[in-house]
Structure 1
Amino acid sequence: MQILHFDIKPHNILLDSNFTPKIADFGLAKLYPRDNSFVPVSAARGTIGYIAPEMISRNFGVVSCKSDVYSFGMLLLEMAGGRRNFEQHAARRSQTYYPAWVYSHISRKELGGICEASDIHEVERKLCIVGLWCIQMKPHDRPTMAEVIEMLEAGVDALQTPPEPFFCGFEQDSAADSFQFSTSELSAISELSVTDSTR
């Protein structure tokens, strides 16, 4: 059996006395056989800002363990920059949706502004690249958690910059061609992706 958590976010990662991370709050979790590639879920589960797109609309793909990978990617991006994935009071509108801002800087190789609190640019870059791979819109484009671990343990030079996640560019026309989205679905998912959690 595998555990699908459905609510990976900073609030649910606790540290023990040795600073070893522990995943908490399994209230939304489901047990499911490993040999099943997708999970039937009747209602969206998770926290807005971390919830995978397929949890909102099956037009993005099927719900699976890759849904937790998406949430983990958002967590990595927040760790890299020390800020929430959505900033209501960002200095510039382009910085409001943090993953889009990170992708823009990574693609231009401008690392200095990603995290103002430290000077560990190599670690920042690694967390950002892996995080961006994890938040790809199509579940099958995201790595498995085993692959995520391999990327995190690898050198940053071995990592390839991922394709631009859908919401970074808000390229609705090309995405609509690929997924046959309705306008209402695109609006709903876009709004959910840039809305911070109230929990």
Structure 2
Amino acid sequence: MAVAADAVRQKLRFFLCKKTSSSIQENIEALISSYGSLAPKRYKYSEVTKITSCINNKLGEGGYGVVFKGMLDDSRLVAVKFLHDSKGDGEEFVNEVMSIGRTSHINIVSLFGFCLEGSKRALIYEYMPNGSLDKYIYSDNPKEVLGWDRLYTIAIGIARGLEYLHHSCNTRIVHFDIKPQNILLDQNFQPKIADFGLAKLCHTKESKLSMTGARGTPGFIAPEVHSRTFGVVSTKSDVYSYGMMLLEMVGGRKNVKSFAQVSSEKYFPHWIYDHFGQNDGLLACEGTPEKEEIAKKMALVGMWCIQILPLHRPTITKVLEMFDRGLDELDMPPRQNFSQTL
């Protein structure tokens, strides 16, 4: 009798799991259908592999997947990101894909399509021929490659893209991984924010996010994402990451320097702050007074963005206003110290 009862329970469990899986799949399909013509094109996995097989050029690899260059039937070049196998049911993936797919801004990378077949997931983006920003700002002569004027234009373009995500989307998007590696450059070096793998969606009326665990890249993660002691997680968390990136663009070095000879230089903002105070052009700008003004303005804006407490940081809209003002109109932000803040 016990054996028979166990067999019945196993069959019932199998039936319920099958029904639940089927229901989830139906919900996903209904969710995709609800977006109608607004939804990005859905591809079969076999179609996605065909798109990349004609070129077979690996563009990069990260914690969330691998990216290959590909070509669509209409000869448009694309970047296809194959995500590592996921155990999730796919509903959150579809929600994020649909929300990002509805974005339309010159400084946000365009999503052409996606694939969702069980655990197989892929994203098809427009191809950016000049790659990511990091390969330029960490080079031996970053300012010679891009030039200060172009670097300044790129900084403003990224801020405009963030302002769109924070304030102009139907669904507010907090990116949570703003860094040079996630800024792609098109043929004209127009910057586009990419890689929304860590992005979190919230209603436009919400000013703060409920979130468990830290997310982002070391060196760019806002203090409140690590610990709520510093404040609530919000769009200001992206502003912090943007500020760190600005300082890297100015200094031409990573904000976490593994082999710093002087321990105080381990914390990159202190390095920027000290050189700014010495009025030595940040050791990065040898040229005209106009170029030095660009460097100083970017550094000042960056230092305001990385204020430890979110309350003291500007919104990204305020950041754009700061860029419109003259250098003499910008105040020097207070030097940050974690121990004094707590």
Task: Tell me whether 1:114 sits opposite 2:280 in the alignment.
Answer: no
* Partners of 2:281 and 2:296 within 8 A in 1: no
CA distance in 2, matches of 1:80, 1:153: 18
5+ long unaligned stretches in structure 1: 177-199
User: TM-score, normalization: structure 1?
Assistant: 0.80
Which residue does the alignment assign to 1:193?
Answer: none
1:52-67 correspondence runs (5 A): 52-67=222-237
1:132 Cα deviation after fit: 0.5
User: 1:88 Cα shift?
Assistant: 1.8
Match of 1:159? 330
Tell me the equivalent position of 2:308. 137
> Aligned pair in 2 of structure 1 residues 113, 162: CA closer, same or farther (>3 Å)?
closer
Once the two structures are superposed, what CA deviation does each residue of 1:60-79 show, in whole Å capped at 9, x if it has no partner? 10000000000000000000
Rounded Cα–Cα distance in structure 2 between residues aligned with 1:139 and 1:80: 23
SS in 1 for 2:214: coil
Instruction: Return the match for 1:31 from 201, 205, 209.
Output: 201
Q: Are 1:54 and 1:67, in contact at CA under 8 Å, matched by a contact in 2?
A: yes
Partner of 1:175: 341
Provide the aligned length of Structure 1 versus Structure 2. Answer: 169
Work out the CA distance in 2 between the residues paired with 1:142 and 1:42: 23
1:175 partner letter: T
Q: Kindly provide the CA deviation profile for residues 13-56 of structure 1, in whole angstroms up to 9, marking residues without a partner as x.
A: 00001111000100000111121111001111100100001011
Displacement after TM superposition at 1:121 (Å): 1.4
| Aligned counterpart for 1:10 among listed residues 156, 159, 180 | 180
Matches within 5 A, 1:52-131: 52-106=222-276, 108-115=277-284, 118-119=286-287, 120-131=291-302
Higher relative contact order (CA 8 A, sep 6+): 1
Q: Is the 8 A contact 1:80 1:114 kept in 2?
A: no
8 A contact 2:272–2:282 mirrored in 1: no
Q: How far does the alpha carbon of each residue in 1:125-148 deviate from its partner, in whole angstroms, 9 at most, with x for none?
A: 111100000000110100000110
Letter in 2 for 1:158: E
For 2:309 and 2:283, locate their aligned partners in 1 and report how far apart those are by CA, in whole Å: 26
Partner of 1:196: none
Q: Aligned partners of 1:165 and 1:34: how far apart in 2?
A: 31
- Give aligned-pair identity as a percent: 51
Q: Displacement of 1:2 after TM fit?
A: 1.0
What displacement does 1:109 show?
4.5
Secondary structure (helix, strand or coil) at the match of 2:299 reads: helix
TM-score, normalising length from structure 2? 0.48
Q: Extract unaligned runs of 5+ from structure 2.
A: 1-170
Superposition CA RMSD, Å: 1.4
The residue type paired with residue 110 of structure 1 is: N
- 1:160: Cα distance to partner? 0.5
The Cα of 1:105 is off from its aligned counterpart by 2.5
The structure with more radius of gyration: 2
- Mapped to 2, the partners of 1:145 and 1:111 lie a distance apart of 28
Cα deviation for residue 87 of structure 1 reads: 1.3
* Letter paired with 1:115: A
Q: State the alpha-carbon separation in 2 of the partners of residues 113 and 5 from structure 1.
A: 29
